[in-house]
C-alpha cells in the first residue's frame, strides 16, 4: 500500500498537531514542582500523626497502664481479704 504525496502531507500535519498538543499538557514534572505547597504537606503530615497517636499509641498506653493499675488494685484487695 503506497501513500500518495497528499496523504503523506496530511499524515505529517496530523503528527505535528499531535506532537504540539503533547507539549501543552497541563501536568508536567515542572508544574508539580511549582505547585508544591509545603504548608499543605505539613498539615497533612500532622493529620497522619494525630491519627497514629489516636488509633495506635493511646490504646497501647491505656492497655499497659490499665493492667498495671488492675494489678495494683488486686494486690491491695487480695492482701485485705486473704491476710
Contact 11, 3 (CB under 8 A): yes
46 pLDDT higher than 90: yes
2 pLDDT higher than 90: no
Give residue-wise pLDDT tens across range 5-36. 666 666 666 555 555 555 555 666 666 666 77
Q: Give the DSSP H or E segment for 76.
A: helix 58-82
Q: Quick one: cell of 62?
A: 491505656
65 pLDDT higher than 80: yes
43-56: string of b/e by CB count within 10 Å (b at 16+)?
Answer: eeeeeeeeeeeeee
Amino acid at each position: 500500500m503506497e501513500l500518495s504525496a497528499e496523504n503523506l502531507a496530511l499524515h505529517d500535519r496530523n503528527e505535528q498537531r499531535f506532537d504540539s498538543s503533547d507539549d501543552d499538557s497541563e501536568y508536567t514534572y515542572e508544574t508539580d514542582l511549582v505547585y508544591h505547597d509545603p504548608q499543605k504537606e505539613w498539615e497533612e503530615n500532622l493529620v497522619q500523626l494525630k491519627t497514629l497517636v489516636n488509633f495506635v499509641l493511646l490504646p497501647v498506653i491505656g492497655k499497659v497502664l490499665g493492667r498495671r493499675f488492675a494489678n495494683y488494685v488486686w494486690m491491695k484487695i487480695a492482701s485485705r481479704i486473704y491476710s
